[in-house]
Amino acid sequence: MKYRVVVFGVKDTSENIVEFIHNNICSVDLVITIHPDVLNKNQVSGFKGLSVLTEKYGIPVFEADSYFLTDDKTKTFMEENEFEIAISMGWQRLIPAYVLERFAYGVYGFHGNCGYLPFGRGRSPLNWSIINGDSRFNLNLFRYDEKADSPNIFDTEMFSITLHDDIRTAQYKNMICSKNLIKKLLKAYEEKRIVIRTESKDFDSWYNKRTAEDGKIDFHDRTRNIYNLIRGVAAPFPGAFALCGETKVTVWEAHPFDEMIDFSSYAPGEVVDVFDGKLVVRTVDGSLLIDRYECERELITGDILI
């Protein structure tokens, strides 16, 4: 079987891209995803089963038994079929060389940061950009090789990260720019004139892998850093959290409250007051208003978050 346009994906954003391509550009001939059982060994924030695409559009969906595509079922499938071009969206693992070599026009994916590749390679770049307080994001559509985030650039689009964005609204912007880049790539593919730029004057730097435990809030940190962490790991990611005694408090939404009111009689992390179920919490350099949190009990004035 020959598959012309293929999408690798495991998330709701992957489904969105498949529908966009299929409904607006050309037919998607195959979706490669992972079997739900793979989640037992891999954390995938925002996972979405994609078999529904077969029911909705008749698109074949192949479910690999390994997120690293090293299982025998996948190896056999790749050997027995032919492929032309693929787009990876939300696939957070390296795609092995034996798979890449099966695609006549290459496999393409997205990676971005505030600078230019190879600066900012690695994991969770959009989360890190918000957490680090970056105000712009360069989204690259690049051709995969066996290394992580190599500067094999097809094209780039830039968008702003404002103080009002959280990870989900930043994903919306990311998706808009991704769709613009996909249009350009598939047009170039149809015209058989895909041009890749490999030269770069920038330097290597890496974003480390993030885990749910990295969302722990330190109320001895600056308000801006706490705010950036909360919005950088908001849903669909696990969320920022603190402890009240031994009880976990997941903070989904918050924003800087005031930096002038004298809260020196309260400890950092202490709930100063509660209004409409929202918590005013002391920070080192001011205060934070926690708009929405999740806890097994209602927090009250005097509770301390650590």
Answer for the pair 34, 10: CB distance below 8 angstroms, yes or no.
yes
Q: Which residues pair with residue 113 across a beta bridge?
A: 138
b vs e for 169-196, b when ≥16 Cβ sit within 10 Å of the residue's Cβ? ebbebbbebbbebbeebbebbeeeebee
Closest C-alpha to 111, from 95, 124, 96 = 124
pLDDT at 156: 96
Closest C-alpha to 29, from 10, 53, 62, 5 = 5
Q: In the predicted model, is pLDDT for residue 43 greater than 80?
A: no
Q: In the predicted model, is pLDDT for residue 148 greater than 90?
A: no
Token pair listed for 216: 């722990």
What is the Cα gyration radius of the chain?
22
Residue 287: exposed, middle, or buried by beta-carbon count in 10 A (0-12, 13-18, 19+)?
buried
Provide mean pLDDT across the span 106-125: 92
Residue 86: exposed, middle, or buried by beta-carbon count in 10 A (0-12, 13-18, 19+)?
buried
pLDDT at 199: 83
Whole-angstrom Cα distance, residue 29 to residue 58?
9
pLDDT at 40: 84
Q: How far is CA 262 from the centre of its chain?
A: 38
Token pair listed for 224: 């801006």
pLDDT at 41: 81
* Residue 142 main-chain phi, psi, to 5 deg: -135, 160
Answer for the pair 28, 56: CB distance below 8 angstroms, yes or no.
no
Residue-wise pLDDT for 232-265, tens only, equals 999 999 999 999 999 999 999 999 999 999 999 9
User: Rounded mean pLDDT of the chain?
Assistant: 95
Domains and CATH numbers, the chain: 2-207 (3.40.50.170), 212-294 (3.10.25.10)
CA dihedral 218, 221, 223, 229 (to 10 degrees): -50
